[in-house]
Chain A
């Protein structure tokens, strides 16, 4: 948008936005948890669920649901920001840090592609999912993660727009080259930093 045109007669609501310093530009606060997905919600039974790290790695690793739950848990409380403009503060999750999953992995890759049931993918720089910045979460607000919000497990990368926090995640592939994922090939920004308002390509 080229300039700030004054919208005659618009005052805005200035919702009780909590701490304005926590709402990125162009976002508004919501207390609901809206859903954005491109297709039907997949339902994978926990017996069949696995999580795999593969791609440019020394050896692929796969966990069953049981093995995954046995990994050390963390319980991040974070603010999340969706590209469709809503932000939600202090969301509570439980899951496994991506650092834990990559602990013994030897890789030449500098990027990851998250793979999901339903065929959805998203790409991230390795440095955006390591050092305490990303988790594979299976609980939201103390309850098992609902399928429409990505259950049984989703990626959580709260410092980027929420489409990067891929629902129904089943694995991470390490890649040497950056390979645009699903929304990224449909015009959304490659990285998606909400504080820089990186919503769409070319802006």
Chain B
């Protein structure tokens, strides 16, 4: 591990220098295995947060208070420590710049992590298609990569909407509350644009978002989902 960066109060990115890393595609994940002195092991999967073109592999990890692996990665692991990982894994929930059609990214909470890898790939590939991001977070302070996302929104080809479910600053003009049909219809590409849709987040969020998209007329096979279980610890 080279560096740890605080993204929010609970989420941190660990930047890794990986000799011999074969490269990855945006949206893939890695398996991390921790081994205690006595041989006890625990494994978890984490989405890759960096784009394929980035120098260092980044994982952004949300600390779960009752988690077994995440607190080690966010609090204990120090720069210079080694980490055992396997990957990249997964060939389905991936986006590549060569794919046609507008890009629609929809995230809840830490579900933004693999979508951020897609956005970085999108930037590195000179923004080959128009893209929209709909990100639901509890509050602006808990929105991971908030400044980066708002900075990217300066590109004409990118629309970023942040929806806040629990708390919002005074004068917040964005969406308040959970994702709903009106928000999806206002913020997402309409079905006739045939967007390529990626939805990632906690199970309940993904279920709700995918259902709303299908109700709005999006083809189920245009919607790729990745769910984070409540026990991703």
Measured CB to CB, the residues of A under 8 A from B are: 1, 3-15, 26, 28, 30, 32, 34-42, 84-86, 118-119, 148, 182-183, 185-187, 199-200, 203
Contact = CB atoms under 8 A, between A and B. Distances in A.
Contacts of B232: 34
Contact of A7 (B34, B203, B230): B34
B210 A34 contact: no
Given A40-B213, A148-B203, A12 B34 contact: yes
B81 A13 contact: no
B184 to A, nearest CB: 13
Main secondary structure of the interface of A (DSSP, over half): loop
B72 A7 contact: yes
A118 B220 contact: yes
B157 interface: no
18 contacts: A4-B41, A5-B82, A6-B36, A7-B34, A7-B36, A12-B41, A13-B42, A15-B68, A30-B231, A36-B229, A37-B225, A37-B227, A39-B221, A39-B225, A40-B223, A42-B220, A85-B45, A186-B90
B89 interface: yes
Nearest to A42: B220
A5 B84 contact: yes
Contacts of A1: 31, 33, 84-86
B83 interface: yes
Contact of A8 (B81, B92, B221, B230): B81
If over half of B's interface residues share one DSSP class (helix, strand or loop), that class is named, otherwise mixed; here it is: mixed
Contacts of B207: 35, 41, 148
B227 A36 contact: yes
B230 to A, nearest CB: 5
Nearest to A85: B43
Interface string B49-90: 000000000000000000010001000110001111110011
Given A37-B227, A84-B229, 19 more contacts: A4-B41, A5-B35, A5-B82, A10-B36, A10-B72, A10-B76, A12-B40, A12-B41, A12-B68, A14-B40, A26-B43, A34-B203, A34-B227, A34-B229, A38-B225, A40-B211, A85-B44, A85-B45, A186-B91
A187 B230 contact: no
Q: Classify chain B: how many residues form its interface, as a range.
A: 35 or more
A6 B35 CA distance: 5
B150 interface: no
Nearest to B228: A34
In this complex, the member of A34, A39, A182, A186 whose beta carbon has the largest number of chain B beta carbons within 10 angstroms is A39
A40 B43 contact: no
A9 B74 CA distance: 13
Nearest to B227: A35
Contacts of B43: 26, 85
Nearest to B82: A5
A3 B213 CA distance: 44
A16 B21 CA distance: 36
List the 8 shortest-distance A-B pairs measured between CB atoms, nearest first: A34-B229, A40-B210, A186-B91, A7-B34, A13-B68, A5-B84, A30-B231, A186-B92
Given A1-B33, A26-B43, A28-B42, A38 B224 contact: yes
B210 A41 contact: yes
Contacts of A148: 203, 207
